[in-house]
Structure 1
Amino acid sequence: MAPTSDFDPQRVRAITLDLDDTLWPIWPTIARAEGVLQQWLDDHAPAAAALGRDKGTLREVRNQMQTLRPDLAHDMSALRRESIRLLLQRAGDDPALAETAFEVFFAERQRVELFDDALPALAFLSSRFPVVALSNGNADVHRVGLGEHFRASISAREFGVGKPDARIFHAAAAAAGVSADQVLHIGDDAHLDGVGALNAGMQLAWVNRAEHPWEHAPLQPHLTVSDLLALCQAFG
């Protein structure tokens, strides 16, 4: 654990907590969910399945959807569902299959494998503070099986803007019933979590599992930890 600024545990009245890559590694989860989706397309929309095996086509479809629907920029679920619909249309398959196909993907996306430190740290933190999930992604803490540890969950999709915008951090503080300066935000992304929380007036615990350099001086995290149990130790 490396205190790089004046962390004040006595000031903390609530926790806001990132999900993806803080509580579990996201890319193995996404890769597995995409594999399940591909198998479903093989069985129900083979032409789209064939297109979907071409990574270049998939990238083009997703880029096109982001251009066509900028209103969905903060809604990962809608972007994924509409990208599937566009793939189905391109392949000549029934675009109405997009709803079911997305649900197949989404159910698997909620099957996460927690870092070893995540559950004991969550139990520790939620026994002492209200904890609010704060995510730009589309994980559902209840479907993941962690809902009991959270007072609330704020997502970019529901709120309309995502991290690092200070407004979503302030909304999370309000959901916890405290002011922003009474919150410790915990997250792995130096820009989205780190810069966002610091600009919102929160204390920051940066979860830096891979020993990345901090590149946002003069801003500094109040704590840098290699895992969540090291963070818990900061509360004594």
Structure 2
Amino acid sequence: MPDGYWACKAICLSGDRCNGVWVITNVEAVFFDLDDTLWAVAPVILRAERKIYAYLQEHFPRLTDAMDLEAIRKTRSQVYASRPDLAHDLTTSRRLAFESMLSDFDYDPQAAVALTDLFLDYRNRVALYPDVIPALERLRNHFQLVVVTNGNADIERVGIGEFFSAQIRAEEAGCRKPLAGIFELACSTINVEPSSVVHVGDHPIDDIQGAIGAGIRSIWMNRQGEPWVQAYHPDAEIADLTGLVTLLR
């Protein structure tokens, strides 16, 4: 890895030197993952699930008398595993899980729609990492910014939609990362070639391998300082978005 970490906490594994600093050039657009790239997702989902469980206790007590939160999670996982055709659509699989549980306890399964909407409300209440807004404010002046995510967060509901030219979610794309199709849709949406794009994400397979497979340069968001263990490599590694601002020219 050239030159180690700099003050900006970035490592560039391929690119050019600019005033003694490694940079990635010829970039027109930057694609972003969301969960664990712009915010920590685990506390968001945990809070949403707990809020939903409290709602179920109040409005559907027969269900919660028989099922604790872990049992509800297990049911959702079973529904997800049983429907590989919905691997790209987390919202629908969660709604189907609610429908199944409601029916099992003689409640109207149509209530699953409102439950799913309530979950999404809590799911979009995120705490952005402190480096996110300052970096997006700078980057949007130079590049088209696009979200490419497997999740069901919505940048408009999160409150950062103003920074992005487009949002490509797996449930609308009909496929999920690491498949090339979702990256190709993002490129066609803003009319750019893959070679002029960099994708930033935390997941070694979904984000890095996926971008490489689509002919897109990749930047690994490594906020936790984890070692890279895959046979393939990203073009760069950053610990926060401050490093991204420095890398891109």
The question of a shared fold, defined as TM-score above 0.5 by the shorter chain, is answered with yes
Summarize deviations over 1:133-163 as a string: whole Å, max 9, x none.
0000000110111110110111110111100
Q: Which moved more, 1:167-176 or 1:107-116?
A: 167-176
SS in 2 for 1:162: coil
In structure 2, the residue matched to 1:137 is 151
- Residue 4 (str. 1) matches residue 17 (str. 2): no
Q: 5+ residue gaps in structure 1? A: none
Whether the 8 Å CA contact 2:52–2:119 is kept in 1: the answer is: yes
* Match for residue 106 of structure 1 among 101, 117, 120: 120
1:16 and 1:173 in contact (8 A); partners too: no
Match of 2:31 among 13, 16, 27: 16
Task: Give the TM-score, by structure 2 length.
Answer: 0.89
1:41 counterpart letter in structure 2: L
User: Which sits farther off after the overlay, 42-51 or 142-151?
Assistant: 42-51
Q: How many percent of aligned residue pairs carry the same amino acid?
A: 38
Q: Normalising by structure 1, report the TM-score.
A: 0.93
Aligned length: 234
**Contact 1:195–1:216, Cα closer than 8 Å, also in 2:** no
Q: Contact 1:86 / 1:95 at 8 angstroms: preserved in 2?
A: yes
Task: Pick the aligned partner of 1:191 from 200, 205, 213.
Answer: 205
Match of 1:41 in 2: 56
Bigger shift: residues 185-194 or 5-14: 5-14
Question: For 2:205, what is the secondary structure of its paired residue?
Answer: helix
Following TM superposition, by how much is the alpha carbon of 1:61 offset from its aligned partner in structure 2, in angstroms?
A: 1.4
Change (3 A) 1:43 1:14: same
Between Structure 1 and Structure 2, which shows a larger proportion of helix residues? 1
Tell me the equivalent position of 2:244: 231
Do the aligned partners of 1:187 and 1:207 also contact (CA within 8 Å) in 2? yes
Residues 225 and 67 (structure 1 numbering): CA distance in 2 closer, same or farther, change over 3 Å?
Answer: closer
Of 80, 83, 108, the residue aligned with 1:69 is: 83
Structure 1 residues 15 and 51: alpha-carbon distance in aligned structure 2, compared to 1, 3 A threshold: farther
Per-residue deviation at 1:181?
0.6
How far apart are residue 10 of structure 1 and its match?
Answer: 2.4
Within 2, Cα distance between the matches of 1:122 and 1:50? 46
- How far apart are 1:202 and its partner, in Å? 1.1
**What are structure 2's unaligned runs of at least 5 residues?**
1-9, 17-22
Query: Alpha carbon RMSD of aligned pairs, Å?
Result: 1.6
1:31 to 46, 50, 75: 46
* Residues 1:97 and 2:111 are matched in the alignment: yes
Once residues 17 and 114 of structure 1 are traced to their aligned partners in structure 2, the CA distance between those partners, rounded to angstroms, is 14
Paired letter, 2:112:
A
